[in-house]
Amino acid sequence: MNRTLPDRVRKGRRLAQGAEVVAGGVHFRVWAPTHRKVELLLGDDAKSRSLNPEGDGYWSAMVDGIAVGTRYRYRLDGEGDGLPDPASRFLPEGPHGPSEVVDPRSFAWTDLAWTGLPLHGEVIYELHVGTFSPEGNWAGATRKLVALKELGVTVIELMPVAEFPGRFGWGYDGVAWFAPCRLYGTPDDFRGFVDQAHALGIGVILDVVYNHFGPDGNYLERFSPHYCSTRTTEWGRGLNFDGEHSAPVRTLVTDNAAYWIDEFHLDGLRIDATQNLHDRSPDHIVAALTRQARAVAGGRRLLIIGENSSQDTNLLRSTEVGGCGLDALWNDDFHHSARVALTGRRQAYYGDYHGTSNEWLAAAKHGFIFQGQRSTWQKKRRGRSTRGLPPAAFVGYLENHDQVANSLWSTRVWQESSPGCHRAMTALLCLGPWTPLLFQGQEWNSSAPFYYFADQKPELAKLVREGRIEFMSQFAGCAAGAGRDLLPNPASPDLFEASRLRWDERELPSHERALRLHRDLLALRRTDTTLSGYGRAGVSLEAAALTPTCGILRYFVDGPAAGARSEDRVLVVNLGPDLDLEGPAEPLLSPPAEPGHTAWRMLWCSEDPRYGGSGCAEPESEDRGWRLPGFAAVLLGPMVRV
């Protein structure tokens, strides 16, 4: 039996669209403003029931006697066999198949005491569910959570999981934003992963893509041509956030952001390519979705991160001053400078960087390196001032999904740099003032590449391959001849399988040493009160370059509780040969001011043989003065004179 949903009940829906289990049945609602008739096709017999127009482009009906798990479609104007729901909560047969009724309230959560994530002190771990574990699903990923806890991870950042076509993919071509991909399991399997992560004290955030829809399986424009705008992105048409009939489009996005927080207990979002969210309205869509996500979280603390190639720090400013209220932004500046320092290669967008110590120290001190200077690569000014923003608002990394894939062989950075320099830069990543991010397997120097892979139908697969060749042509090795011919085909299942982590590597000596390095560094970051205290009152930071390859960070601790300077820390990162100084010539190496603390002692060294190094002597001695070890990082603390 169908009946029109009373207005007071309709307003109590969790989402503006979709099938929702409510008292008395299942309520269906969809936005199809340009159609004369919308029918609901239920079950295998596809028996039709008409939806009722609400007068604002939405159609709805309450239907009794429907069980959870029932499959359904919508038919528009009496034509065809029906289309999946634009707000499907599950598509068990993929984006071209029927939608399935899901009741999110049936899952038995155990995380009611979980309070969410503060920005300060987090360590993020990015992973792709399909390649993270041997099983490539939620169950396999859940079994690896203890390993991440032991590593020192506090936040898992999932690459996109919204439904996409094919047998494998990165997820950035998602077409059903509310449906967790069937390749990884059921929605409740996803909930179980989050629940177990919370039980271990690990938060979970999700990469979401609101700048375009994927090219295959996107039926939203069949329901309304108003979903997309005339503006394009590098991946296709952008969304209509500020044009005619844009209100339901904005609601789709803000509902989706709130949906993941509410129904999956996620701890935040990473918003992909915010520079392509074109919106001239007074309430920018990023601010709107952030506000909605925080509202539905109640008292839980969320971590909402943006990717923005323009480095627009207005995204981080409070909405009260016209910003968007994000907590953090990915920092490509640090990655690019560090990678040039480690590999010496300055192709394409790396050409703006020299990899010198003053660059990566500027990233440590100020967040972004580019804050309005002209970018030679982009041929325009890039970035805005970071003044007044906390250091943790910048996410630093040596690897992420994009940057590993953006080379001819999609190799890891440790394979392109010397072991000593890589260990030293890893120390800077883990002990620096930013929020560090590790990419899956980075902690044990995984040998698995991470290719760009996407399983598409043949005509699209050809276009994807051509697009990949065009993008990669900016790098000299891929620009012509053999390089173009050697670029692997993203549609190949072999690329997907080659990208899967090889967990048994962790037991091999060289990989076990790399794992110990990362564990020890993250433990230092967590337990050393000075390092963990930076960004709060009483701990400040200064930085200086000694040479183009050697730099110093000194954490100053003030106030009576600190015993003046007795808890200062100095991190020296030297990517060049041994460096001799005539006494502590550099002011940041001057002895602590507290009487009785007149020298430095080594607290940690990247050349420890346990990490594969050759050993490291104390940097200061009576007979030779100061000698900073080459191709190494050392952490120093005050020596107490007895």
Which amino acids are annotated catalytic?
A: 272, 307
Neighbouring residues of 173: CB distance < 8 A, sequence distance ≥ 6: 164, 165, 214, 215, 216, 235, 454
Kindly list the distances between the CA atom of residue 604 and the CA atoms of 540, 562, 611, in Å, as whole numbers in the listed order.
Answer: 21, 21, 11
Calpha distance 77→487 (Å, rounded): 46
**Could you tell me which residues come within 8 angstroms of residue 433 by beta carbon, excluding any fewer than 6 positions away?**
364, 365, 391, 392, 534, 535, 541, 553
In order, the DSSP letters of 91-103 are -TT-TTS-EE---
H/E element, 330: strand 328-330
Max Cα-Cα span within the chain: 93
- Residue by residue, DSSP assigns 177-211 as EEEE-GGG--HHHHHHHHHHHHHTT-EEEEEE--S
Q: At what angle do helices 357-366 and 332-343 cross, to 10 degrees?
A: 160
Backbone angles phi, psi at 393, to 5 degrees: -75, 0
Provide CB contacts within 8 A for 167, sequence distance 6+: 183, 455, 493, 496
Task: Give the single-character DSSP code of 454.
Answer: B
> What is the rounded distance in angstroms from the CA atom of residue 433 to the CA atom of residue 498?
34
d(CA 406, CA 172): 16
Determine the Cα–Cα distance for residues 629 and 617; give it in Å rounded to an integer.
Answer: 8
Q: Give the bridge partners for 205, in sequence order.
A: 157
Strand 58-63 vs strand 124-127: parallel, antiparallel, or unpaired? unpaired
Q: How far apart are CA 259 and CA 265, in angstroms?
A: 9
SS3 of 396, please?
strand
Pairing of the two strands 435-439 and 124-127: parallel
Per-position DSSP letters for 108-160, written without gaps between them: ----TT--B--STT--EEEE-HHHHSSS-SHHHHHHTHHHHHHHT--EEEEPP
The span from the CA of 11 to the CA of 5, in Å, is 10
Q: What residues contact 537, with CB distance under 8 A and at least 6 apart?
A: none
- Matching residue, tokens 């029931």: 49
> How far is it, in rounded angstroms, from Cα 302 to Cα 116?
6
Any idea which residue has 């890039």 for tokens? 382
Question: What is the 3 state secondary structure string of 50-75?
Answer: ECEECCCCEEEEEECCCCCCCEEEEE
Residue pair 171/213 in contact by the 8 Å Cβ criterion:
no
Question: What phi and psi, each to the nearest 5 degrees, are found at residue 303?
Answer: -120, 105
> Of the candidates 21, 26, 22, which has an alpha carbon nearest to the alpha carbon of residue 49?
26
